[in-house]
Amino acid sequence: MSDLVTLTDIERAAERLEGVTVRTPLVPYPPAGRELFVKPESLQPIGAFKLRGAYTAVTALSEDDRAHGVITHSSGNHAQALAYAARAVHVPAVVVMPRTAPAVKVESCRALGAEIVFVEPTMEARRAMADRLAAAHGYALIPPFDHPQVIAGQGTVGLEIVADAPEVDVVLAPVGGGGLLSGVATAVKSLRPETAVFGVQPELSAHARESLRLGRPVEWPAAETSRTIADALRVQGLGRLPFAHLSEYADGIITVTEEEIRKTMRLLLLSARLVAEPAGAVATAAYLFHRARLPAARTYVAVLSGGNVDPALLAETVG
């Protein structure tokens, strides 16, 4: 497809992000020896990979386009990322968040100076409010995943993986709306076509697996996706652009259970000293509990997408 993000787009995004985002390392997961490496995007300034895409998209806007401010809709991490990016370039930010968003993410957005508008926890409500406010006030809308600059920014995760592990065999990344997996798969497959790239999502929010199986985008009701502990992956469906990218580049989708997510959060903390929010743990969970469904390999890399976990949930999970 002509509108797919390219390796050149991702390399340009990397230039924009120089000195802004952390070039996160590949951390060995000790019990696996040197077979599994975890890329902790929890080390980013806002605690998640989303800063890569948000900052790329905001800085790609013209001065006129961002003069009135920027707006997005998000369950938390992209909202924080947009607030951070907007503050960095001195423009106001408005974030539309579901009323069920974790308090730790809401407070982070407030601390970064964003105006918060709460809506019901459905994608329809989020999109409708963001569209309405953008039209009324002239805000530049930067959606959380269905945007070429956002995908290009997230793709810099893949650039770094291949640079640091040039013989990587399998890459695992969470998938909700699909922006991260789209960018990572595009970068990895462009640089190393033989590497397998898999998305990972909770069984309770497995719309991406169903979409790729059926060959068309499928949406799940909010009442179903809201059941997962992985709040950042309670997305009802893939975006149009992510679906096109995943259809082209992804090797498949692995699903994990709620108990596997919780166990992996605990194991990452105790074995690798890495804090993962539930969504951040799913890629590692796929390796730990479903390796038989993955290609045999010498080197696996799992993207730990974020560490913005409610302290009470973390204590409950680890205790």
Q: Name the residues annotated as catalytic.
A: 50, 305
The alpha carbon of residue 119 and the mean position of all alpha carbons in its chain are separated, in whole angstroms, by 21
Residue 70's DSSP bridge partners are: 93, 140
The conformation of residue 192, written as its DSSP 8-state character, comes to -
Q: Among candidates 41, 29, 34, 49, which has minimal Cα distance to 288?
A: 29
Q: Do residues 161 and 190 touch, judged by C-beta distance below 8 A?
A: no
